[in-house]
Amino acid sequence: MIKLFFETLSMIVIGLVTGAFAGGLVFGKGMGGAMIGGGTGAALLALLTMLFHFMKWDKAKMKYASTSLLPGALIGGSQLLGFGAKGAVIFGFCNAIIYSTLIHKMVENHVNKERYVLYHGHYLILFLLGSIGTFVAINVIGIIDHLVNFNKAAMELPFYLTNLAVVVVALLIYATGLLIKKRKQETWPQAVQASRNMLFILAAIIAVLMVVFTCTHLGMVSLDGVVRRVAGLVLPYGVGVFLPLSFGYLLASNKHRPVMGAVFSLVGGSMILLVGISVAPMLLLPGSGLMWAGLVIGMVMMMLSILSMAKPETHLFTGCLIIICSILSFIGAAGGLVVGGLLGLIGGTFIAAWNGVLSKTGSNDHDLSKRPKDIPTVNSNTITG
């Protein structure tokens, strides 16, 4: 019953936020609509959770659908796509169908293969990070769209140079994927065969981009509108899906390497490094040493994070050093605007306290495996009498 209580509580939160967004913004009813929608959504998801529990139905599909309504509505109702309230409703329900079928099957398959871990509060984290990540991605793309004139940039570049750049980038991506496949295959023909689907996808992308650039140079299509709609659909959806799911994959990888702490430390170190490079001159007077402190501390934290993943047996040493560097960053580098230092402290603590399993084979076991098997004794045929 305790598990059911927390499941119902998390679904109430999801229903409250989703219903408030739908009633207040999608249907345009203001504060009153938000209150009515939030209460209705919370009550509906609470009743559905208890109904699915007592009827012993598959609750996972219902939960995945509930967590995905708001991210889909944010994408469909954004100004980047320009579909308005109808787009929010359509994209919300389409996203719910995708999550309850494809995403649910993918996660279930990866859990069985021990590539993903279902943790406490899994669905609430999916909802919160998915919604926040989608919202941030939409706003970032909107800012870039106002700052950059893609149509002007494409017209200034020669037509052949634009297409050549697209082909070169696609070939580099294919070569990288081919090298990764080669590490898992014995021969190059097998690696090429395994990379065939990626080659077809890249070829299709190249063809589409060439058509778009050709139409842009001919004045038939505005590249700004194409970038706004494609990026406004693909990037927010990708962030909204993979950002919340990354925690499950990191927890699964954390069994053998301190991946979770290393990721926190990498992000914290990169923020401290960024403050040292660009933000420091605006904060303090030149010659204060803030820039050099940020550069050194940030680079050391990032190197230690990579070392903890490459050599998990050094987790205690690297974790303690990352904690020390994070503390020093508050003194000499403004703590990466505080956030970087806090992430470094959290990551260093995770690394130092890591209690995973090292996949090592003892030397004694190795020697025993190399010993020849005992030759069974055979009774000699002795004639007596």
Structure confidence at residue 71 (pLDDT)? 94
Q: Which amino acid is at 77?
A: G
Quote the tokens at residue 291.
Answer: 């820039």
Structure confidence at residue 278 (pLDDT)? 57
The helix-helix angle for 30-54 and 2-21 (nearest 10°) equals 150
- Give me the chain's average pLDDT, please: 83
Maximum CA extent, the chain: 112
45 confidence band (pLDDT: 50, 70, 90): very high
Dihedral (Cα; 236, 240, 242, 244), 10-degree rounding: 150
Dihedral (Cα; 139, 140, 145, 147), 10-degree rounding: 120
Q: What is the pLDDT of residues 72-95, one digit of tens each?
A: 999 999 988 888 889 999 999 999
**pLDDT above 50 (res 378):** no
Quote the tokens at residue 366.
Answer: 């190795």
Pairwise CA distance, residues 70 & 19, whole Å: 9
Structure confidence at residue 108 (pLDDT)? 92
Nearest to 134 by CA among 200, 209, 195, 80: 80
Q: What is the pLDDT of residues 319-347, one digit of tens each?
A: 999 999 888 888 766 667 788 888 899 99
Give 296's Cβ-side CA count (13 Å radius).
10
CB 308 within 8 A of CB 289: no
361 confidence band (pLDDT: 50, 70, 90): very low
Residue-level length of the chain: 385
Q: What does pTM read for this prediction?
A: 0.74
Q: CA geometry: angle at 347 spanning 345 and 351, to 5°?
A: 115
Quote the tokens at residue 107.
Answer: 């996660």
Distance of CA 150 to the CA centre of its chain: 27
User: What percent of the chain clears pLDDT 70, i.e. is strictly above it?
Assistant: 87
Question: What distances in angstroms separate CA 367 from CA 201, 273, 359, one per listed residue?
Answer: 49, 47, 17
Pairwise CA distance, residues 177 & 52, whole Å: 43
214 confidence band (pLDDT: 50, 70, 90): confident
Q: What is the pLDDT of residues 227-272, one digit of tens each?
A: 888 888 999 999 999 999 988 888 888 888 888 889 999 988 888 8
Pairwise CA distance, residues 315 & 355, whole Å: 9
User: What percent of the chain clears pLDDT 90, i.e. is strictly above it?
Assistant: 32
Q: What residue spans define the domains of the chain?
A: 2-144, 259-357
Distance of CA 134 to the CA centre of its chain: 12
CB 65 within 8 A of CB 35: no
Q: What is the pLDDT of residues 150-188, one digit of tens each?
A: 888 777 777 778 788 888 888 888 888 888 777 777 788
101 confidence band (pLDDT: 50, 70, 90): very high
